[in-house]
Amino acid sequence: TQLLEQSPQFLSIQEGENLTVYCNSSSVFSSLQWYRQEPGEGPVLLVTVVTGGEVKKLKRLTFQFGDARKDSSLHITAAQTGDTGLYLCAGGAYNTDKLIFGTGTRLQVFP
């Protein structure tokens, strides 16, 4: 069974701080997605990475896919209250169209 463990599970920080969320597995994935979900809404796609070692930047968010395609990280610089939400990583399984979702990281940013 493929599992994606995220750490930390909960994170509570002040506005302006930096943070990193990790997504780890013993399995290899064809791709890795990051989603953010706010209360009462469905997950919203932030980024898809498909190449081992790939780094993508989206304004204050930096995403990295591990060289071995087993792990990923999300770094947020100068967090804002609007970054509050549930962050989910999801790995694409080879030879299927299915995604394996991580355990989730709940981020709360206080003003």
The C-alpha angle 26, 12, 23, rounded to 5 degrees, equals: 10
In terms of CB distance, is 76 or 90 closer to another protein?
90
Other CB atoms within 10 Å distance of the CB of residue 90: 21
In terms of CB distance, is 76 or 99 closer to another protein?
99
Residue at 72: amino acid letter: S
Site membership for another protein, residue 3 (CB under 8 A)? no
Span 66-105, contacts to another protein by CB under 8 A: 88, 90, 92, 97-99, 101-104
Residue 62, exposed/middle/buried by CB under 10 A (0-12, 13-18, 19+)? middle
Q: Using CB under 8 A, list all residues that contact another protein.
A: 30-31, 33, 35, 40-45, 48, 50, 88, 90, 92, 97-99, 101-104, 106
